[in-house]
Chain A
Amino acid sequence: MIIAINGRNLAAHPGESVLDVARRGGIRIPTLCHHEGLETWGGCRLCVVETRRPGAKAARVAPACLFPVRDGLAVETDTPRIHRIRAMLLDLLLARCPEAERIRELAGEYGVGRTSFAERERPDKCILCNICVRACAAVGAHAIATAGRGAAGRVSPAFGEDAVDCVGCGACALSCPTGAIEMVDGEALRRIWGRTFERVRCSACGRPALTDAHVALLVRRSGLPAETFARCERCRREQTSRRFLDLVTAVKP
């Protein structure tokens, strides 16, 4: 099927979203919560576009990430109406996270230098994109979720307590686009979400690697033997080289 984005005809496949087709065609639509590896969430609304189905009288505003393609669909990604909506969203986000660089940059692009709302009293960098929550679920820990509403919205472990289901893998902190999640790595310990985890040392070099709870989760989910995770990747590689060396010396060239 064919859809038109900004007057350009682009091939689309059933099941794709407007955002998928736009990205493939090199048309930029700003997003905050979209992540290729995670389930589409549609939470940030920054990807809103104007869509018009064939025969429709008026254009509708819809998030491109969730809007399924259909033949003859016409999309406009950067009209004054869309620009206004995005500027408002960024204005609100800037009040929430005045220190998040990503938001400041994007807001600047949409002509918002300073928020017209009251800044939060103790702002953090969390823009509620939910990538950490979905990453945590993908890892299989389900330790964090969104909580609260409006300005009090936040990502939190259940009941605001220490994250009992967290395994300390750190995927949430590393995939956070604004660096809002604090993870402190020490020689033997890792602190995150109010928990302190023991880091397992590589059985060969002694370097601290994964947390004990992360190893337990990986063993449970992958079915791989626990020995796989006893050495760090560098020492496992060296071990591979020694195995190859044994083979080479066994079969003389």
Chain B
Amino acid sequence: MSKRLVVTPARCIGCRTCEIACAFSHPAGGGPGPSRIRAFPVRPPERGIPVVCLQCDAAACVRVCPTDALRRDDRTGAILHSEEHCILCRACVAACPFGNVGYDEMQRRVHKCDLCGGDPQCARYCPSRALEQVD
């Protein structure tokens, strides 16, 4: 793991471009999928707090998964969710203390940040460098 996704909430302007970038890079059912990142607006002044998976070391989602559907990708450091291994018990959704694992009821799919395979699109499109890919 050579790079990290660094979040600097103080720089966030609450534009939520990250959410759009995420939704379009993770399509579901023929359209943009549910965003894995969320920028909570704070005002005034116009600001936001981006919340995205922290890829915890001793992650609760990994601990509660009964089928090893959540595993760390050593290359990117991301905890990846495997749909093939998932039995949809949603224990990970319930266990994440930060609320960063979601469940898409329409698509019957668990979703979480996968760091876009090492090139997080939220960071790429963030206009204020609140989200950065840092070496």
Contact = CB atoms under 8 A, between A and B. Distances in A.
Given A38-B87, A214-B94, 17 more contacts: A37-B84, A37-B85, A37-B86, A135-B89, A139-B91, A169-B91, A170-B88, A174-B108, A210-B94, A218-B95, A224-B95, A233-B102, A236-B99, A237-B98, A237-B100, A240-B100, A245-B49
Nearest to A245: B49
Contacts of B89: 135, 138-139, 169-171
Contacts of B108: 174
Contacts of A237: 38, 51, 98-100
B64 to A, nearest CB: 5
B23 to A, nearest CB: 16
Interface of A: 35-38, 131, 135, 138-140, 169-171, 174-175, 209-210, 214-215, 218, 221-222, 224, 228-229, 231-242, 244-245, 247-248, 251, 253
A251 to B, nearest CB: 8
Contacts of B64: 218, 221-222, 224
B63 A222 contact: yes
Contacts of B100: 233, 237, 240
Interface in B3-58: 9-11, 38, 40, 42, 49, 51
B60 interface: yes
Contacts of A248: 9-10, 49
B42, B87, B90, B95: which has the most chain A beta carbons within 10 Å?
B87
A228 B96 CA distance: 8
A228 B49 contact: no
Contacts, number: 112
A253 B128 CA distance: 14
26 contacts: A36-B82, A37-B68, A37-B69, A37-B86, A131-B87, A135-B89, A138-B89, A139-B87, A169-B90, A174-B87, A175-B87, A214-B94, A222-B91, A222-B95, A224-B95, A228-B97, A229-B95, A233-B94, A233-B96, A233-B99, A235-B99, A236-B96, A237-B99, A239-B99, A251-B10, A253-B10
A196 to B, nearest CB: 20
Interface of B: 9-11, 38, 40, 42, 49, 51, 60, 63-64, 66-69, 82, 84-91, 93-103, 108
Contacts of A37: 67-69, 82, 84-87
Contacts of B84: 35-37
Nearest to B65: A37
Contacts of A238: 40, 99
Contacts of B86: 37
Nearest to A135: B87
Contacts of A232: 99
B66 A222 contact: no
A234 B9 CA distance: 19
A245 B9 contact: yes
B29 to A, nearest CB: 16
Nearest to B67: A37
Nearest to A217: B91
B54 to A, nearest CB: 9
Contact of B67 (A138, A215, A224, A251): A138
A36, A233, A238, A253: which has the most chain B beta carbons within 10 Å?
A233
A140 B66 CA distance: 8
A169, A222, A231, A237: which has the most chain B beta carbons within 10 Å?
A237
